[in-house]
Chains A and B, each alone.
Chain A
Amino acid sequence: MSAVFDVLSWVLLLAGSFFVFTGAVGLLRLPEFFTRIHSAGVTDTLGAGLMLAGMLLQAGSWTVAAKLILIFLFMMITGPTSTHALAKAALHGKLTPTTAGKEGVKS
Chain B
Amino acid sequence: MFIVASIAIVVTMVLVLVRALLGPTVYDRILAANSFGTKTVLIIAVYGFLTGRPDFLDIALVYALINFISVVAVLKFFEYGDLGVSTRKKTRQSEP
Question: C-beta contact mask, B19-50 vs A, less than 8 Å → 1, else 0?
Answer: 10000011110111011001101100110010
Question: C-beta contact mask, A39-51 vs B, less than 8 Å → 1, else 0?
Answer: 0100110011001
- Cα–Cα, bound, A69→B9 (Å): 20
Pairs across A and B, CB under 8 Å, 10 listed = A20-B12, A27-B15, A28-B18, A36-B31, A43-B12, A48-B38, A78-B68, A86-B75, A92-B86, A94-B87
Task: Give which listed residue, B4, B16, B25, B78, contacts A14 with CB less than 8 A.
Answer: B4
- Cα–Cα, bound, A24→B1 (Å): 21
Contacting pair B75 A85 (CB below 8 A): yes
Contacting pair B35 A44 (CB below 8 A): yes
Tell me which of A10, A27, A81 has the highest count of chain B C-beta atoms within 10 A of its own C-beta: A27
Question: Given A59-B54, A89-B79, A92-B86, A44–B38 Cβ distance below 8 Å?
Answer: yes
Question: Nearest-CB distance from A9 to chain B (Å)?
Answer: 7
Residues of A within 8 A of B85 (CB): 93-94
- Cα–Cα, bound, A3→B88 (Å): 59
Contacting pair B61 A70 (CB below 8 A): yes
- Excluding A27-B15, A27-B16, A67-B57, 9 further A-B contacts by CB distance (< 8 Å) are A14-B5, A24-B15, A51-B5, A55-B45, A68-B57, A74-B68, A78-B68, A89-B79, A95-B25
Q: Binding site of B, secondary structure by majority: helix, strand, loop or mixed?
A: helix
Interface, chain A (partner B; CB < 8 A) = 6, 9-10, 13-14, 16-18, 20-21, 23-25, 27-28, 33, 36-37, 40, 43-44, 47-48, 51-52, 54-55, 58-61, 64, 67-68, 70-71, 74-75, 78-79, 81-83, 85-86, 89-90, 92-95
